[in-house]
Amino acid sequence: MNNVKAFESLPSFIVGIGASAGGLNAFKTFFDALPSNTGMAFAVISHINPAAHSQLAEILSRHTIMPVKLAASGMKVLANRVFVIPGNADLSIEHGALVVVTPRTRRNAQVDIFFASLATAMGKRAVGIVFSGYDGDGAEGCKRIKAVGGTTFAQDTSAEVSGMPLSAQATGCVDFVLSPEEIPLELQNLSKRLGRAL
């Protein structure tokens, strides 16, 4: 009974992970290194071609034993779950549930949109991670997360395309610059430091 209860529990933190070009390898490396029982929930925000059928959820399910689901409106965000943005959609979180809006409102702004909603919904328990990609999506979102006391990460020089992580770093609102395989350990440290205090 206790295991079932823990499995269905609310997350201690919600982690938004944004990427574009070159992000797939970063996602896979991150989840390969991530324990399945952090007590956190994870939302994967990728710039998916609106015309393409995304196989991202299926791919990521091979790299974690956590349930990986394509996000749908009304889906409750629970601990130790992974939610993946659908193609041609904006994703946000309100009152502990996901909101999917189709078609997307702007091209390549999905990370900022989710991070902004995450900051509002979770405050100090919001975490934003910016992986590989062109341009600057995620930078404004990192500002929003930092403004409410949340925690932000950007991929280091391991990024295949450096635009998004460098734009995030240029805001001065990134706490950690690490490789995808190093971030899970820092998330666990964050949980130990802040989990009981918040």
* pLDDT tens column, 118-150: 999 999 999 999 999 999 999 999 999 999 999
**Within a domain: 132:** yes
* pLDDT tens column, 21-49: 999 999 999 999 999 999 999 999 999 87
**Within a domain: 64:** yes
H or E stretch at 45: strand 41-46
CATH number of the domain that 39 lies in?
3.40.50.180
The number of beta carbons lying within 10 Å of the beta carbon of residue 126 is 27
**Within a domain: 198:** no
Q: Which domain holds residue 27?
A: 2-192
**Within a domain: 197:** no
Domain count, the chain: 1
- Look at the pTM and tell me if it is higher than 0.85: yes
How far apart are alpha carbons 142 and 149 in whole angstroms? 11
